[in-house]
A and B are shown apart, each in its own frame.
Chain A
Amino acid sequence: MFKRLGRRFRALVGGARLDRQMDQELQFHLDLETNRLLQQGLTPDQARTGALRTFGGVEKVREECREARRTSWADTLERNTRYAWRALRRQPGYVAAVVVTLGLGIGANTAMFSVIDGVMLKPLPYPGSDRLVLIREAAPLVGQDEVGVSIRELYDYREQLKDFDGLVEFHSMSFDLINRGEPDRVSTGVVSANFFDVLRVRPVLGRTFVVSDEGHGAAAVLVLSYEYWQTRFAGDPTIIGQVFEMNDRPHTVVGVLPPMAQYPENCDVYMPSNACPFRARGEQQMAEGRRRAFGGLTVFGRLKPGVTVERAAADVAMVANRFNRDFPTVYEKSDGFKANAVPLLQEITRNARPMLLMIMGATLLVLLLACANVASLTLARTLHRERELALRVALGAGRGQLAGQLLTESVLLALGGGALGLVVARLMLGGLTSFIGRFTARTGDIHIDVTVLLFTLGLSILTGLAFGALPALVARPGPAAALKQAGPSSGGTPRRRRLQSSLVVAQVAVSVVLLVGAGLFLTSFYRLQSVETGYQPDRVISAEVFGNFSRFKSADDFRRLYLPIVERLERIPGIVSASVASAVPLGSEQMYMDAPVRIEGQAVRTKNGPTSGITIATQNYFDTLRIAILGGRGFLATDTADAARVALVNKALARNWGTRDPIGTRVSVDNGETWMTVVGVTANVRQFSLEKEPEAQVYIPLTQSLMGLPGRVLVRTQGDEQAMSQVIRAVVHDVDPNVPVKNISTLEELRRRYLSRPLLTAMLLVLFAGVALVVTLTGLAGVMATSVSQRTQEFGVRLALGARPAVLVRSVLRQGAGLLILGVALGIAGASAAGRVLTRYLFDTAPTDPLTFAGVAAALLLTGLVACLGPARRATSVDPLQALRSE
């Protein structure tokens, strides 16, 4: 075969050389013929002319040879395409069915591939981004898969690693930028001075940071993102040099970034590392000896030329080991602290990757199902065309040529499907992109571009070959078939029937796998959303009312803001209860988390001691959220600033008391400086996530708090929620007109937003499974119909002999059930084996959840039998006389 390809290639490319060879060959022949005639006694002249005469026109021969050579490849393809076009035009119904089916299947795959290409395959939009590498720390032995880098560690890495051309830090914060008196909450990226240099990003206006910006006492500067510059400042070209107040300091804008997706996060503005007040405090603590102070940095760098990622990873790991060795009190053996280096792109897509691959797998399965259906359809069509094909064989088409012909048809159909698929993909891409945006930040590069087009083309051709191969292999009509009459029992040979049955069984198995996947996600979602949360979100509105750092410094300042707000809100009719708290369930993160807790009477443990989140709240907090108080009391009006300090703990924290009652003992959350008496125990509240176990919590009344807080107003209302949000705004501005009221939403909405990710995932899989089921049932019905038409004689005879129609129906159904049971069994086997990949996405649901499996099996069997009913009923409407006659 390769010789043939080689020859064809040479024919395309080396025409002139082949011409010369042909001339040589013909000349050889002429010379020999001339020689022969010479030996017969003719004169040389006569011999030559004689030879030429018997040869025939040399030019003509040359032309014909060239034509014979050219009948390869392009010509065959052209001929096949013409025949295919004509043949397909005669079967519009079949063509429509195939193109639509394949269009949907290929379209879904094209859309998914665009997403995968845009998220995982394309390099980051920075020049030389494959040299960008992230340092990743972890403490796996204490369950910390990912640990941020601390300031001290970053400096150590910089000193001790020789692999990098610049190691930079990044962390993001939410600050207020005072723009013409209006505070604007901006997401701020706090970065090293050479951050943009390492990324090789050039500003579109002004400059990025320089080393001196990071120096002590340097004036604070800002770099704006392109989007923020456009939306907030309408692209004002005079923005450079303007000064805004942030965190009590004037910040001068020195540059604007170009329009591009940003990594690691999208930020509105950027400031140098020394301008962040929290980081500054961290530096102070570091100077006092706390090695892990401010341990939330993302650190990455550009590899020096010639350094491989592997070497960098090894070096980073070595440095981390040195940390373990030199600071055993900070990095205890039981933590298992380690570090390595990974390419930045890989890190960014880490969360999305399994989800993407899973969905891609599902889409491919759906395409496979569609192919099986189309293959079955085509098999049936080939039967109808037996005479036409046999004629062609009789006219000299070889078996290979016939197969090529049929394959050309199927590839043509598949290309049509692919074209339709591009349209389908275009429609799907928007929704798919926003879905995947919940898993990764990298959605800016998802487009239908040349790569995707090539993928679609390749996939279409493969699909065409796949579904066409089966019928092409099977189509082997002998010349005698052209003369045969197409009889009623031309359902085909047993071989064909077995092929169709196997196809159906395979389809059923694949559908089972998809249905099980969908079922598992649905079950997981259902269990997630019905998990006990510890509070009641209905009719509660929350709003972020954050006091600016510059104006609100002490706890008293915050009390002066929040207490009047609560008081006024409670006086409003329609509001059942109001409070302000430092955290809202399922809202953004709590400010105080993992604070070490000291319990009076228990030994102090610096490591592995109890930690807890701290919620500062006003008196009616538990009432507003309907959090149950299990023992003792809630906050009372008597818990004033001069009264004894009190606190509540939740059940999770109460476990630290063992069997003793926590009420009456004292706790401290500031390392023993101040102590509070526990006066009540509350139920556990799932504060941040529905999946994780509730964290320990200490509740401190706002009236006694020593710390400030980012206050969230919580209002339980009887009336209209929309109207209430206006009321809240009015009341807040009544108390202090300069405090922004942001993110007003009901707790129900927060919960819905939180659940949207697992819900959408489940819905997506249900969609796939639904499509798969429909495709499979159609295929099953088709095969049963064919089988019934083949058994018409048998049915006719049985009916004539007095069989009841119900018996025939049962016979057909039994046949269908056989296929279904086999397919379901295979599918269950496959799903149990493959299910393990889903474990990390499932909540409280095993990948072999028996309920789901049973449900899917039952559903498939039932719907399958229903699908067989139609053909089964047709079996009973066979006219026995007719059937007997066409023997």
Chain B
Amino acid sequence: MPPTRLDLLQGTLDLLILRTLIVGPMHGWAISQRIQQVSQAVLQVNQGSLYPALHRLEEAGWIEAEWGRSPEHNRQAKFYRLTKSGERRLREETRQWEQMAAAVARVLTGEA
């Protein structure tokens, strides 16, 4: 059975981006590739929706951006990095997400 493509809620996308940036600064394309990689292609990020999310996160102060030279492609690219408050937000949101997921799982297995 082919993996279903879920539409992601906006908040979840934010979470995923923040999580991805934990390993280090990346530019937009790399972020989208990594999310696809790690989620084993189940979560297909509509690549376009990545950028508004990135800009929104930047506005909120959870990530910050810097123009730099991309080593592999030798071009100017905008790199994003997690900020301190971004790290805090990530921890907080992850905890809540896990709580919610566990609760939902409990309900489902209970009913099953």
Interface centre among B32, B49, B51, B58 (most CB of A within 10 A): B51
Also in contact, A3 and B64, with CB within 8 A (given A25-B77, A64-B51, A71-B59): yes
Chain A, range 9-62, C-beta contacts under 8 Å to B: 21-22, 24-26, 28-29, 31-33, 54-58, 60-61
CA distance A69 to B55 in the complex (A): 6
Judging by beta carbons under 8 Å apart, are B61 and A4 in contact?
A: yes
Chain B, range 26-63, C-beta contacts under 8 Å to A: 27-29, 32, 46-49, 51-53, 55-56, 58-61
Q: How many residues belonging to B are interface residues under a CB distance threshold of 8 Å?
A: 28
Judging by beta carbons under 8 Å apart, are A56 and B48 in contact?
A: yes
Closest A residue to B46 by CB, please name it: A56
Give chain B's interface secondary structure class: helix
CA distance A71 to B59 in the complex (A): 8
Q: Which residues of B contact A57 (CB under 8 A)?
A: 48
Q: Which residues of A contact B64 (CB under 8 A)?
A: 3
Judging by beta carbons under 8 Å apart, are A25 and B78 in contact?
A: yes
Closest A residue to B14 by CB, please name it: A396
Question: Which one of B11, B53, B59, B70 lies within 8 Å of A69 (CB-CB)?
Answer: B59
Q: Which residues of B contact A32 (CB under 8 A)?
A: 29, 73
Say if the beta carbon of A68 comes within 8 Å of chain B: yes
Given A56-B49, A68-B55, 4 more pairs with CB closer than 8 A:
A3-B64, A25-B27, A29-B27, A54-B47
Judging by beta carbons under 8 Å apart, are B52 and A29 in contact?
A: no
Closest A residue to B45 by CB, please name it: A54
Judging by beta carbons under 8 Å apart, are B28 and A68 in contact?
A: no
0/1 string, A737-780, CB within 8 A of B gives 1:
00000000000000000000000000000000000000000000
Q: Which residues of B contact A398 (CB under 8 A)?
A: 60, 89
Say if the beta carbon of A887 comes within 8 Å of chain B: no
Also in contact, A28 and B48, with CB within 8 A (given A68-B59, A69-B59, A72-B59): no
Closest A residue to B61 by CB, please name it: A4
Q: Which residues of B contact A630 (CB under 8 A)?
A: none
Listed in ascending order, the chain B residues whose CB lies under 8 Å from chain A are 11, 27-29, 32, 46-49, 51-53, 55-56, 58-61, 64, 67, 70, 73, 75-78, 89, 96
Say if the beta carbon of A97 comes within 8 Å of chain B: no
Judging by beta carbons under 8 Å apart, are B55 and A28 in contact?
A: no
Please give the distance in Å from B98's CB to the nearest CB on chain A: 14
Judging by beta carbons under 8 Å apart, are A65 and B77 in contact?
A: no
Question: Which one of B47, B51, B61, B75 lies within 8 Å of A65 (CB-CB)?
Answer: B51
CA distance A61 to B61 in the complex (A): 21
CA distance A29 to B48 in the complex (A): 10
Judging by beta carbons under 8 Å apart, are B47 and A21 in contact?
A: no
Question: Which one of A1, A4, A60, A68 lies within 8 Å of B56 (CB-CB)?
Answer: A68
Closest A residue to B72 by CB, please name it: A32
CA distance A67 to B56 in the complex (A): 9
CA distance A396 to B12 in the complex (A): 12
Judging by beta carbons under 8 Å apart, are B47 and A33 in contact?
A: yes
Closest A residue to B96 by CB, please name it: A479
Judging by beta carbons under 8 Å apart, are B27 and A28 in contact?
A: yes
Judging by beta carbons under 8 Å apart, are B51 and A21 in contact?
A: no
Judging by beta carbons under 8 Å apart, are A26 and B55 in contact?
A: no
Please give the distance in Å from A166's CB to the nearest CB on chain B: 62
Judging by beta carbons under 8 Å apart, are B56 and A21 in contact?
A: no
Of the A-B pairs whose beta carbons lie under 8 Å apart in the complex, a sample of 9, sorted by A's number, is A4-B61, A28-B78, A29-B28, A29-B47, A29-B51, A54-B47, A56-B48, A61-B48, A68-B55
Closest B residue to A54 by CB, please name it: B47
CA distance A24 to B73 in the complex (A): 14
Q: Which residues of A contact B32 (CB under 8 A)?
A: 29
Q: Which residues of B contact A1 (CB under 8 A)?
A: 61
Please give the distance in Å from B12's CB to the nearest CB on chain A: 12
Closest B residue to A64 by CB, please name it: B52
Question: Which one of B47, B58, B76 lies within 8 Å of A24 (CB-CB)?
Answer: B76
Judging by beta carbons under 8 Å apart, are A55 and B48 in contact?
A: yes
Q: Which residues of A contact B51 (CB under 8 A)?
A: 22, 25-26, 29, 61, 64-65
Please give the distance in Å from A61's CB to the nearest CB on chain B: 4
CA distance A680 to B47 in the complex (A): 113
Interface centre among A1, A22, A67, A68 (most CB of B within 10 A): A68
Please give the distance in Å from A60's CB to the nearest CB on chain B: 7
Question: Which one of A3, A29, A61 lies within 8 Å of B29 (CB-CB)?
Answer: A29
Question: Which one of B52, B58, B60, B96 lies within 8 Å of A67 (CB-CB)?
Answer: B52
Chain A, range 759-814, C-beta contacts under 8 Å to B: none
Judging by beta carbons under 8 Å apart, are A396 and B48 in contact?
A: no
0/1 string, A635-663, CB within 8 A of B gives 1:
00000000000000000000000000000
Judging by beta carbons under 8 Å apart, are B27 and A65 in contact?
A: no
CA distance A64 to B48 in the complex (A): 9
0/1 string, A374-385, CB within 8 A of B gives 1:
000000000000
Please give the distance in Å from B87's CB to the nearest CB on chain A: 14
Please give the distance in Å from A14's CB to the nearest CB on chain B: 14
Please give the distance in Å from A660's CB to the nearest CB on chain B: 91
Closest A residue to B70 by CB, please name it: A28
Closest A residue to B52 by CB, please name it: A64
CA distance A21 to B11 in the complex (A): 26
Please give the distance in Å from A109's CB to the nearest CB on chain B: 35
Closest B residue to A71 by CB, please name it: B59
Q: Which residues of A contact B89 (CB under 8 A)?
A: 398
Judging by beta carbons under 8 Å apart, are A55 and B47 in contact?
A: yes
Please give the distance in Å from A816's CB to the nearest CB on chain B: 41
Also in contact, A71 and B28, with CB within 8 A (given A56-B48, A61-B48, A64-B51): no
Also in contact, A61 and B52, with CB within 8 A (given A28-B27, A55-B47): yes
Please give the distance in Å from B65's CB to the nearest CB on chain A: 9
Interface centre among A33, A60, A61, A67 (most CB of B within 10 A): A61
Please give the distance in Å from B45's CB to the nearest CB on chain A: 9
Judging by beta carbons under 8 Å apart, are A21 and B78 in contact?
A: yes
Also in contact, A65 and B78, with CB within 8 A (given A29-B47, A54-B47, A396-B11): no
Judging by beta carbons under 8 Å apart, are A33 and B48 in contact?
A: no
